[in-house]
Amino acid sequence: MDYKLYINGKWQDSGGGQRLKVENPATRTFIGSARRGTREDVDLAVAAAKAAFPAWSSCPVEERAAVLRKIGRLMENRRAEFATTISQELGMPQKHVQHWQIDSPVREAAYFADLAEAFSYEIPQKGGFVRREPMGVVAALTPWNYPLEQITLKVFPALAAGNCVVLKPSQQAPLCACMLTEILDEAGLPAGVFNLVTGAGGEVGNLLALHPDVDMVTFTGSTEAGKEVGRMALSTVKKLALELGGKSPLILLEGGDLKAAARDAAASAFMNSGQTCCAFTRVLVPKDRKREMEEALIAEAKKYRVGDPADEASDLGPVISERAFLRIKGYIEKGLEEGAKLIAGAVPDCYEKGYYIEPVVFSDVTGDMTLAREEIFGPVLSILTYETEEEAVAAANDTPYGLDSAVYGPESRALEVAKKIKAGGVHINGAPFHFSFPFGGYKESGLGREGGTFGFEEYLQIKAVLV
């Protein structure tokens, strides 16, 4: 697969003529390429979006919704192709890709179409009304770990709300973004409403964040990268939506189902090879149940078979790159140096045949250790202990992040604890997430929300009209 840029309704070469090679992390071979966008390409894409905005924003919402529903149907038709591509560029086993990477994006098209049609854009008030209007040109900067859904959660509500979009997907996993662009083109979006400029984040992403004709930047990635994007975007006072890092806690209360909590923690921390921003990577347990939790998590870790993503027996594939492999390896070594006890997994060694890391569980972790404070973004789970409920809440909140969390225990107590956790989400006793709920974080985990009505509203301006 070799993709060009998509600007103003046409596929075209980059002005710079360079390509980004896409590596399969399971085999360390190249599986495709995309163009490396330049300043000229960014300017053309933004200009196309700006020119298309007046007509797109003023067309009836039912027309925009109809296009989105068609996009959803076309995505459904290419499910198998999406699954193969995402598995190859990300490394997630084929048997998990459909559920974890494709199900929600396909459903989101119709969801945001319905939401846009039902939304109240004008709210009467004494003396006039409040009106909600589209932002204008939205730059969407997306990551590689959920390469399709992180696009659809931004692009679909932005388009449904009447905005025009310039998308810059991750340079490590751009192929599924290019496939989605083919579908948007086939669905009949007017020229300029959606534009794709692939390239390096420090180049294309920065240019979009700084561009004076971009009205909003929506970014998902690390906290450090988000801070830098935010600084650039605020140079022209753009609207910002940032979904950043996490170090999410799972608290087991007295009376909670320990085995269920262990299963949930393992699935959250290990699935997608630990490359999930909202993973429950800190398990907080009563001191007298530490040994029981250790045994449960050791057993859970053993269930995950690491191997070739094409093999039906594999549960976990490789991490995304050599850089990620070495970073995660360094965190595991740091944990041992600081005195944590490795009870499952091992320090990864060779990556000649792919960037594979088996699930790792540490015990005897304390709140001041690197393992408990920094986002590792790999299949590494830490057990911490507490003596009182207040201590558990304090430990859960003892982090610069506040993205997600979980509590296991008697429902009334769990709900009380949930109210005290400083995070954008709390899952009680294994309750699953749904994209109709707002997703986003407190503190350094971000600004704004994705999903649901709150995520849709991010792409609308508020205007007071006094009559």
Please check whether residue 249 is in contact with residue 280, taking contact to mean a CB–CB distance below 8 angstroms: yes
> Residue 108 and residue 18: Cα distance in Å, rounded?
33
From residue 411, alpha-carbon distances to 231, 257, 408 in Å are 42, 11, 8
Please check whether residue 179 is in contact with residue 199, taking contact to mean a CB–CB distance below 8 angstroms: no
- Strand-pair category, 29-35 with 19-24: antiparallel
> Residue 298 and residue 305: Cα distance in Å, rounded?
13
Would you say the C-alpha torsion 399, 403, 409, 411 has a positive or negative sign? positive
CA 261 to chain centre: 23
Catalytic residues: 243, 277
DSSP 43: H
- Residues sharing a CB contact under 8 Å with residue 17, sequence separation 6 or more, in sequence order: none
> Residue 186 and residue 205: Cα distance in Å, rounded?
26
Give the chain's end-to-end CA distance (angstroms, integer): 56
Q: Which amino acid is at 452?
A: G
- Residues sharing a CB contact under 8 Å with residue 292, sequence separation 6 or more, in sequence order: 258
Virtual torsion, Cα 374, 377, 381, 384, nearest 10 deg = 20
